[in-house]
Amino acid sequence: MDVMRRVRSFVRREGRMTDGQRRMLALHWQQYGIDWQGGRLELDQCFNRQAPHIVEIGFGMGASLALMAQANAGQDFLGIEVHRPGVASLLRTLAKREIGNVRVISNDAVDVLDQAIAPASLAAIHLYFPDPWPKRRHHKRRIVQPAFIDLVASRLQAGGVFHMATDWEDYAHSAMAVLSACPGLLNCAGEKMFSARPEYRPLTKFERRGQRLGHGVWDLIFERRSAG
C-alpha cells in the first residue's frame, strides 16, 4: 500500500477546542474511543457482539452518524475522524442519547482501512461530503482515487456497499469514473447513474440550506461483487 501511504486522507487536526469539548473527550473517550496504534482490529470484540459493521470516513461533527446508529440498533458503526472538536461533539451526542453501537477512531482513514480492517469484513463504507479540493491542481489530494477504491472494495464483503455523497458536481463525476473502473464494484443505480438519497442517509442542515439555494447533491452507491 505504498501509494496509499503517500496520499494520506487526513492529518489530525485539533482545531479550536472549547473547555466543554475537552471535557467530553476526557469523560467519554474510554467508552466510545479506540486508541489504535496499528495492527488488525477485532470489531466484534470492540462492540462486544456480532453484528454488521459499517465504517464512516470523516463524520464531521457526528450528527448524521449518531442518527444512523440510533435508527439501526442492529448494526455497529465505526466512525473515523481526525478533527478533534468533531470527535468531542459526537461523543457528547452518543452519551446524551445513550447510543451504544458506535466506536470512534481518530486516525488516518486510509491507514485504518489498510491495517486495522480485515478483508471482506464490512457491510458498508460511508464517505459523506469529503473535502472536494476544488482547485484543479489539488485534485490529486482527493481521497477518491483508484488505489483507495481498490482498498475499499477489498474491505467490503460480497454485497456490501460503498456510499459516497458530495455537493461538488465535478467531484461527483470524477468519483463516478473512478468507481466505475473498479472491477470489484457494481453501480447500484445502473451504469454511470447517480442514486437517489436513500432514507438511511440523514438530510443534514448543511444539505437543506444548499437545497434552498439550488445546490445539488450527488449520491454514488456501489455494491461489492461476489467473488464468483
Q: How many CA atoms lie within 13 A of 172 on its CB side?
A: 16
Instruction: Return d(Cα 26, Cα 42) in angstroms, integer.
Output: 24
CA angle 177–226–2, rounded 5-degree value: 55
Signed CA dihedral, 187, 1, 143, 135: sign only: negative
User: Would you please indicate which residues are annotated as catalytic (active-site) residues?
Assistant: 131
> Would you say 92 and 113 are in contact if contact means Cβ atoms under 8 Å apart?
no
Beta bridge partners of 163: 126, 221
Q: Distance from CA of residue 159 to its chain's centroid?
A: 18
Query: Strands 122-128, 53-57: parallel, antiparallel or unpaired by DSSP?
Result: parallel
The sign one gets for the Cα dihedral 192, 117, 115, 168 is positive
Q: Among residues 109, 101, 96, which one has the least CA distance to residue 28?
A: 96
Sheet containing strand 185-187, strands side by side? 102-105, 76-80, 53-57, 122-128, 156-166, 218-224, 185-187
